[in-house]
Each structure stands twice: as structure tokens, then as C-alpha cells.
Structure 1
Amino acid sequence: MAAEDLLGLFVAPLEKARIEYMITGAIAATVYGAPRVTEDIDIVVDIKQTDISGMAEVYNPKDYYVPPAQVIALEARRPSRGHFNVIHMATGLKADLYLVGKDPLHLWAMANRRQVRAGKMSCYVAPPEYVIVRKLEFHIEGGSEKHIEDIRRLLAVSGQDIDRPWLENELAKRGLSGMWAKIFEG
């Protein structure tokens, strides 16, 4: 599925509802690096308590599976790692929605998100430093090499645009400096 299709299915409704968001994951890595195939989209959203009951209006229940408002409310109470999925029923495509919460990295990234043009649509993407930090964390959690490859492609294409001092400081705070160094050895 083309990234443009995922944006139309999952980002356009957020734009219409005026919910602040930023795209991350493979789609963001593609924006800053090289394309790769993905069947889902990762989006960080700043959902307010008043937005929770209206999520079924953002994503029409005739076309999308959206968890019950109670589930979203429970996830919204988590200070970090709150998330839920939205599934487009006709295609089976999925959006992983991560809630900003009180996560300092989410808060920093939302304040520094970038507006980019993707096909016919303008959308917000997480800064590349955020993408790198999260990809390293997910690599350590799950061991998937796709995250390391995404980082390498991102660095090859957009490395000059990265705030290296900020990134290296954040990686050191998270105990990821060793993994970061290994990326340059490989």
C-alpha cells in the first residue's frame, strides 16, 4: 500500500477533526530516508479528554474499527505508552495511534514536528531525531533489523539535517549510545 493511501485513510480524518498529530515509524523514516513497503502507519496524537468520545466520528464506524471510548480513555490516562489501533475494514490496513501523554520525548517531538508535502497532502511528521531514538528503542525491544536499516537510510539521505548534539545527548540519557555507535561500525 502506498504511503499516500495510508495518509488519506488515517491522517486526513485527524486533519479534518483538527487533532494534533505527527507521523512516525516507517512512513517518517521514508520521508527522511528511502522508501520501504509498510502495511500500517504509526501516528502520535494529542487527544484531549473531550476528543475521546468523538473518535468514532473522526473515523466513521461504517468504515473503521475504533476501540470503545472506555478503552481509549484508559489508554489516555497512562502517562506514557498509551496507544490503540484503528483499522480500515475494507482494506484491513491499520493505524497504530500513540498518545502523547506526559512522555517528554513525545512532547518535545510534537513541539518540533515538521510539515511536509506527501503527494497531494500536507502532513506533520516527527523530527528525524525522534524517529532515530524510537527506532533504536524498538530495535532493542524486538530485535528487528528493519529499524537499523531505516536509521541507516535516514542518515544517508538526511543526516546533515539532524541535530547531532541533541540526539547524542538524548541517546546517552536513554542508554542507547552503544547501539548508536554500532550503527556507524556496520
Structure 2
Amino acid sequence: MQSREPYLIFTQKLNELGIRYMVSGSMAAMYYGEPRFTNDVDIIVFLRREDSRRLLDAFPDEKFYCPPLDVIESERSRDQRGHFNLIHHESGFKADIYLSGRDDLHAWGIAHAVTADINGKTVVFAPPEYVIVRKMQFFREGGSGKHLRDISRMMIGLGDAWNRQPLLEMIQEQRLQEEWSKALKYAD
């Protein structure tokens, strides 16, 4: 499957299964901002025990790499940072699947997710506040400037009319004032 939005191969299967998810990371930053190159998609998934087998069936071995059921279940049982990959064999495109676990920010993001129509397909994106906060956290952890660039492009794309108050409250709660200051300076 060759597409300008190769992540649709993953999101459409999640939609068909009725599994709650949201696209985050660079794909969400591009949705709110501007395109840049990436070879994967980050998807936050709320996965129940009964969904694990269904997920495995939806991504069959002949078309996808999907980890074994015991790996999915092991990652699903983590309170924080549960993660596994799905890879589409034909395109080589990868989905980093992050499980919501007991992460309050994941829960907030899923509750406030934004549904969009992309090429006639429904895609659920993380809300911009979530994406910006996570990018600042990743910047704090690893120092990669791509996160600041994504944030600055998102702020341009969201425009002046966008209500920043929820974001500013989250920045305060997460103690990300220094990272926010750097993101604002990057935009100048």
C-alpha cells in the first residue's frame, strides 16, 4: 500500500476493531502544523485484555509484523510505558504502539482526542495540548531539536485564535516552563 498517509493502514484496522486510539508524535504534529519526513507513526492505544487477540488477528503475519500474544499481554499489563511495534511488510512503515496503561496524560488525551477525515477515512488524533506537552517531555529527556521545531510549526498552524489556556495549565502542572520557553524562542 503506497499512500501519502501510510499510517492509515494501521488506524483503519483499529477503527474496524472499535479499539480506542489516538495518533500522536510527528504525525499529529504534522496534522496541526506542517509536513516533515518520518518513517513511523506513534499511536496511543487503550487496549483491553479481550482486544489483544483481536489485534493479533487484524494484523496477520503474511502482511504485518505483530508481536506474539504473550508480548502484547505483557506490555498491556504495564502501568506505564507499555509498548510494541507493528510493521507493514510491503511498505516497511512502522507503528509504535504505546499502551495507555495508567498514564493520566494518555487518559486525558484520549478523552479529548480530535476526530478528522483524512482522504475519506476517519483518523483520531491526540489533541494539540497533549502533543505539545509530550514533545516538550521528549525534548527534556533527549534534547532533540525536532520536538521544538514541531511545536513551533504547530503553534503557527493552530493560529492566534486557538485557546492556549489549557496548554499553559498543563505546562505548569508538568513543570515544563523551561522547555516551553525554549520552544517559544525556537519559533522566533
Q: TM-score range by the shorter chain?
A: over 0.9
**TM-score (normalizing by structure 2):** 0.92
Q: Distance in 1 between matches of 2:133 and 2:101?
A: 18
Unmatched tracts of structure 2, length 5 or more: none
8 Å CA contact 1:23–1:41 kept in 2: the answer is: yes
Q: 1:177 to 1:159 in 2, by over 3 A?
A: farther
Report how far residue 159 of structure 1 moved: 3.9
What is the DSSP-based 3-state SS (H/G/I as helix, E as strand, rest coil) of the residue aligned with 2:122?
strand
Q: Distance in 2 between matches of 1:39 and 1:13?
A: 19
Deviations, residues 60-101 of structure 1 (Å, cap 9, x unaligned): 221001111111111111112111100111222100011111
Deviations, residues 40-60 of structure 1 (Å, cap 9, x unaligned): 111111110011122221212
Mapping 1:58-97, distance limit 5 Å: 58-97=58-97
Q: Distance in 1 between matches of 2:135 and 2:106?
A: 14
Deviations, residues 85-142 of structure 1 (Å, cap 9, x unaligned): 0011122210001111111111111010011111221211000000000111111222
Q: Which runs of 4+ in 1 moved over 6 A?
A: none
Q: 1:56 to 1:167 in 2, by over 3 A?
A: same
Aligned match of 1:6: 7
What is the DSSP-based 3-state SS (H/G/I as helix, E as strand, rest coil) of the residue aligned with 2:79?
coil
8 Å CA contact 2:65–2:86 kept in 1: the answer is: yes
Deviations, residues 5-60 of structure 1 (Å, cap 9, x unaligned): 221x2111111111111111111011100111111111111110011122221212
Alignment length, in residue pairs?
Answer: 185
What is the DSSP-based 3-state SS (H/G/I as helix, E as strand, rest coil) of the residue aligned with 1:29?
helix
8 Å CA contact 2:12–2:122 kept in 1: the answer is: no
Aligned match of 1:151: 151
Q: Distance in 2 between matches of 1:31 and 1:161?
A: 17
What is the DSSP-based 3-state SS (H/G/I as helix, E as strand, rest coil) of the residue aligned with 1:154?
helix
Report how far residue 155 of structure 1 moved: 0.1
Q: Distance in 2 between matches of 1:84 and 1:2?
A: 23
Q: 1:3 to 1:169 in 2, by over 3 A?
A: farther
Percent identity of equivalent pairs: 39
Aligned match of 1:184: 184
Q: Distance in 1 between matches of 2:120 and 2:166?
A: 32
Q: Distance in 2 between matches of 1:68 and 1:146?
A: 33
Aligned match of 1:102: 102
8 Å CA contact 2:139–2:179 kept in 1: the answer is: no
Unmatched tracts of structure 1, length 5 or more: none
Aligned CA-pair RMSD: 1.5
Q: Distance in 2 between matches of 1:26 and 1:35?
A: 9
Q: Distance in 1 between matches of 2:71 and 2:38?
A: 26
